[in-house]
Structure 1
Amino acid sequence: MKAPNRHRWLLEPLEDEPTLLVRSMFSGLAVYLDGRMVLYLADRAEPWRGICVPMELGAQPQLIADCPALAPHPQLGKWLYLPESADSFERDAQWLVSRIRARDPRIGITPPLKKRPKARPN
């Protein structure tokens, strides 16, 4: 049996949100709110041990200014990354969750719709 994600405690403030959806994804947890992916709780070895913040590239400098421990992810630069090893990890992670609860428009992406395969003519 797989161990629970080490960052799952960050979901507690969101548990009363009716649109909260949490899905397993690549050995981590993808967190959705209002249909937008707002967090990825990474639970592997660096650089996948911490929190990934999906967002549009243009909003990154603003969020980094508010939370300097965030930086573009080294392998997935379109998202910001808060490594678990950061001295301010717990405080900054809680701040991010509070911004998500407040529906900060800088955080999150709307996942593309999956295309349905076209029916083949008979």
Structure 2
Amino acid sequence: MQPVDLNPKRKKENPLVWIFEPLERDPEYSRERFFNFQAAYLDGLLYLAVASGEEPWNGLVVCTSHDRQAGLLEAFPVLAPHPVLGKWLYVSQRDPEFETVAHQMVKLARERDPRMGVVPGKRKRSPDVIEMKSSSRKKKSW
């Protein structure tokens, strides 16, 4: 009988994190949650991210910029600009070449390919969230 997880808030492990295993030997590698992605960072730069949800959030995202896309698209025609995150490139895990391309992207990331890697932005919070946080810190006087 399978054990049942009684904590409904617990996040399930992303089944695509195996892609990052070759990076684990790199002392400058870290893996962190990035919205609904698991993201691979090298030297503090965001290189790759994986998501396993509904399309277009079901595959590998290559973190790059518009001005560096052309070289990657030419070398890897299976990559395409992500339909929502247009400056980043995407390959769905439904694509027959997914595993091959994923391995190639990890190899390029390990080599610090200059076409990849972006400075991660700071997460922006809405003014409502900021207000809630600051008001919850105020001491109540009875």
TM range (shorter): 0.7 to 0.9
Percent identity between matched residues is: 40
- Is 1:66 matched up with 2:75? yes
| One-letter amino acid of the structure 1 residue matched with residue 102 of structure 2 | A
Segments of structure 1 that go 5 or more residues without pairing to the other structure are 115-122
Indicate which of 18, 32, 35 corresponds to 1:9. 18
1:43-58 equivalence runs, <5 A: 43-58=52-67
| Equivalenced residues, count | 115
Give the counterpart letter for 2:13 in structure 1. P
Residue 108 (structure 1) aligned to one of 113, 117, 133: 117
TM-score, length basis structure 1: 0.88
Counting helix residues as a fraction of each chain, which structure ranks higher?
Answer: 2
Greater relative CO (CA pairs within 8 A, separation 6+)? 1
More strand by share: 1
Structure 2 unaligned regions, length at least 5: 1-9, 124-142
Q: TM-score, normalised by structure 2?
A: 0.76
Evaluate the alpha carbon distance shift between residue 27 and residue 111 of structure 1 in structure 2; reply closer, same or farther with a 3 A threshold: closer
**What's the CA shift string for 1:75-111, capped at 9, x where partnerless?**
1101000111111000010000000011101011012
